[in-house]
Amino acid sequence: MNDFRIPLGTWIETFIEWITVTFGFVFDFIRLIVDGAFEGVAFVLVAPPFYVIIAIAAAIGLAARGWKFAVGTVIGLGLILGVDQWDNAMATLALVLVASIIAIAVSIPLGILAAKSSLASQIIRPVLDFLQTMPAFVYLVPALILFRVGEVPGIVATIIFAMAPGVRLTELGIRGVDKEVVEAGQAFGASPWRILRQIQLPLATPTIMAGINQVIMLSLSMVVIAGMVGAGALGGEIVASLSRLDVALGFEAGFAVVILAIFLDRVTAALGNGDTPIGRVLNARKASRSAAQPTSAPAPALV
């Protein structure tokens, strides 16, 4: 057996230690910003009475998918309240929202860059392959070293883990836009920014929304794993149930995660399709107003 061994892990450990010492102030600043964002979102979700949040969620469900989904949302959130996991569920939702918003804010510009530049695409794709194939637990180790125990390392690890689908599907959506439509915009003298904003992004919206949906779902799955580094919420409850072999607690926390996942998945999927009840109502009103406007009389023919 060969005694030669490449000390790759030692090199990475040394690199992480160097980053921690050299750029510690940067990570402290990031920790402050992310922790403040989480605390703000968590306060908005936890401070109001539960029935206010349920009513808002039901209204979102009604606008996105109709009254049946709104009723199901009320029942699902009521069950979370009934098993005494409300505060943990809202904290988990806050973690997911903060991580998803940051991941989306990073992934969509990267996807646009990859779609516009073949060189950028060739650089970004191997990085995304690495991020998607690396086991999720591995992200927790450097995040824990750089940001210490708490919600922040869980959020940072979630962002890194969840952003890949957003980049890939944004690039795919923009590259999938019909080239003849883009060339027509160029022929009318539109700038590249205007073509992106008014042609490519609107036509690629369904694909981009599918990427956003995947980012949110991956964020929710990773937030539970992040409970192992002190992120708390439902992930902390699941970790506690594993350590104590508490089947009841594990089932209740897992059931709350499932309800949140169904709600977030159905709402974002409906927004991606664009066929929502509120959208149909607005389109019908717009069509009725257009039909009610009097048409101008035809101009007299010139002799």
Domain boundaries, the chain: 24-42+92-273
> If you ran DSSP here, which 8-state letter would residue 161 be given?
H
Give me the mean pLDDT over the 150-177 stretch: 87
Q: Average pLDDT, stretch 20-26? A: 82
The residue among 258, 267, 257 whose CA lies nearest residue 56 is: 267
What CATH class is the domain 24-42+92-273?
mainly alpha
Q: Is the pLDDT of residue 296 over 60?
A: no
Nearest in space to 54 (alpha carbons), one of 68, 40, 73, 38: 73
Three-state secondary structure readout of 209-274: HHHHHHHHHHHHHHHHHHHHHCCCHHHHHHHHHHHHCCHHHHHHHHHHHHHHHHHHHHHHHHHHHC
CA distance 189 to 220: 44
Q: Given pLDDT bands bounded at 50, 70 and 90, which one contains residue 106?
A: very high
What Rg do the C-alpha atoms of the chain give, in angstroms? 24
* Calpha distance 60→302 (Å, rounded): 56
- Is residue 1 very low, low, confident or very high in pLDDT (cuts 50, 70, 90)? low
Q: Are 95 and 158 in contact (CB under 8 A)?
A: yes
pTM score = 0.83
| pLDDT computed for residue 281 by the predictor | 61
Q: Do residues 129 and 167 lie in contact, with contact meaning Cβ atoms separated by under 8 Å? A: no
pLDDT beyond 50 at 130? yes
Q: What are phi and psi of 193, to 5 degrees?
A: -65, -40
Task: Check residue 289 and give its pLDDT.
Answer: 67
Which 3 state secondary structure label does DSSP give 3? coil
Tokens of 117: 């530049």
- Indicate the pLDDT class of residue 3, thresholds 50, 70 and 90: low
- Assign 75 a pLDDT band (cuts: 50, 70, 90): very high
pLDDT digits (tens, 9 = 90+) for 170-213: 999 998 888 888 888 888 888 888 888 888 888 888 889 888 98
The tokens 């406007």 sit on which residue?
293
pLDDT by residue (tens digit) across 248-267? 888 888 888 889 988 988 88
